[in-house]
Amino acid sequence: ECKGQYMHHEALYTEQMGKEMQREQQIINEMDTALEEKQFVVYFQPKYELDGYTPRGAEALVRWKKPDGTMVSPGEFIPVFEKNGFIIKLDYYVWDQVCQLIATALRAGRKPDPISVNVSRVNLYNPNFLESLVNLVEKYRIPPEYLHLELTESVFSDTENVILNAVNYLHKAGFTILMDDFGSGYSSLNVLKDIDLDVLKIDMKFLSKGKDDGRGEKILAAVIQMAKALDMPVIAEGVEEKKQVQMLKRLGCNYIQGYYFAKPMPQEDYERLARKSHE
Ligand code: C2E
Ligand code: MG
Ligand code: MG
Ligand code: MG
């Protein structure tokens, strides 16, 4: 009886694993064609200045638009691409699209707000990363200050020289570096002591309703004060409610990114919004 039950669970377990592997294999089988056929589409989520609620740039977020019209979110395919290295090609593709957008705006005589792109941790161990990024902005002739780089917090848990050297090189080359997902994992505080990053992006976990005894707000207040002392502007991500906006404003947060103001949107929609805000 007992043994039968165990075997049943084991069968379920392996069946689930099998499905997971199948799904992963399908992603791997389709990725090259998807890139060639431009099925990867870059969306833009505006960031809003809390002072006046004006849009000030955006974050580029990739989606996979399958030929049948379904949209796959990055949470599904990025972990697979980080395992097999394809993320290096995909990240570069996204940066290229973003540089094109910036170059087009500059050539039309506009002064666009900076756009941030995500840089996978895998790229930091890619020996061609720094050179290819610098070559890219040179190819489009855009000043590097228009392209902001988001590096997720956990990247810095390796205090290896690789990371320090990359950050120094990128700063010398004129890029702005954001620490993404701050507070989502471990590490961070000593990292801020050792590495001079430019902008702090606070993880949405800080905003989630935990015990409603004001602890979250106190921690947020302290984090924002710390960032200010370090001369780092603060962006809060994942802001969905008016109450959160009011609290963040009271605490002196600088920028907000979240569904409350805007979801990630297609390029044309973002360009329209950005132009309107500069009229
Ligand atoms: P991230 O860089 O931390 O991006 C923020 C994520 O939060 C995005 O999810 C965004 O759509 C979502 N978000 C924004 N506001 C809200 C909100 O108010 N509520 C909720 N619930 N969510 C909100 P998305 O687009 O699914 O991307 C997930 C993650 O995938 C990103 O997290 C980033 O780590 C990764 N990613 C996305 N695009 C790229 C890319 O081009 N390259 C790399 N390497 N990673 C990427
Ligand atoms: Mg990000
Ligand atoms: Mg984030
Ligand atoms: Mg700085």
Residue 16's pLDDT is 84
pLDDT at 229: 96
**Ligand 1: residue whose CA is nearest its atom 45:** 118
Q: Round to whole Å and give the CA distance between 223 and 252.
A: 11
Cβ of residue 112 lying under 6 Å from some atom of ligand 1: no
Identify the pLDDT of residue 2.
Answer: 55
Predicted local distance difference test score (pLDDT) of residue 225 = 97
State the complex-level ipTM: 0.98
Confidence bin at 101 (pLDDT 50/70/90): very high
Q: pLDDT value at position 14?
A: 82
- The pTM assigned to this predicted structure is 0.94
pLDDT at 202: 95
Mean pLDDT, the chain, whole residue set: 92
pLDDT by residue (tens digit) across 57-92? 999 999 999 999 999 999 999 999 999 999 999 999
**To test the ligand 1 pocket, which listed residue (118, 152, 243, 261) has its Cβ within 8 A of the most ligand atoms?**
118
Contact 167, 157 (CB under 8 A): no
The Å distance, Cα 264 to ligand 1 centre, comes to 9
What is the pLDDT, as a whole number, of residue 4? 59
Q: What is the spatial distance between Cα 95 and Cα 91, in angstroms, rounded to a whole number? A: 6
Using a 6 Å cutoff on CB, does residue 96 contact ligand 1? no
Residue nearest to atom 15 of ligand 1 (CA): 258
Q: Is 36 exposed, middle or buried (0-12, 13-18, 19+ CB in 10 A)?
A: exposed
Q: Is 258 in the pocket of ligand 1 (CB under 6 A)?
A: yes
What is the Cα–Cα distance from 108 to 127, expressed in whole angstroms? Answer: 35
Region of poorest pLDDT, from 174-188, 219-233, 259-273: 174-188
Residue closest to 187 by CA, chosen among 157, 219, 222:
157
Place of tokens 């809060």: 236
Ligand 2 centroid distance, CA of 48 (Å): 15
Mutational test site, ligand 1, from 40, 44, 47, 61, max ligand atoms within 8 Å of CB? 61
Q: What's the pLDDT tens digit per position in 148-187?
A: 999 999 898 876 788 999 999 999 999 999 999 998 887 6
Distance between Cα 178 and ligand 4 center (Å): 10
Q: Ligand 1 within 6 A of 180 CB?
A: yes
**pLDDT digit string (tens) for 176-220?**
999 999 988 876 688 888 889 999 999 988 887 766 678 889 989
- What whole-number percentage of the chain has pLDDT above 70? 94
Ligand nearest to the CA of 149: 2
Atom of ligand 1 nearest to the CA of 152: 34
Whether 203 lines ligand 1, by a CB cut-off of 6 Å, is no
Mean pLDDT, rounded, for 242-261? 96
272 CA to centre of ligand 2 in angstroms? 22
Judge if the beta carbon of residue 239 lies within 6 A of ligand 1: yes
Kindly list the distances between the CA atom of residue 269 and the CA atoms of 23, 115, 200, in Å, as whole numbers in the listed order.
32, 15, 26
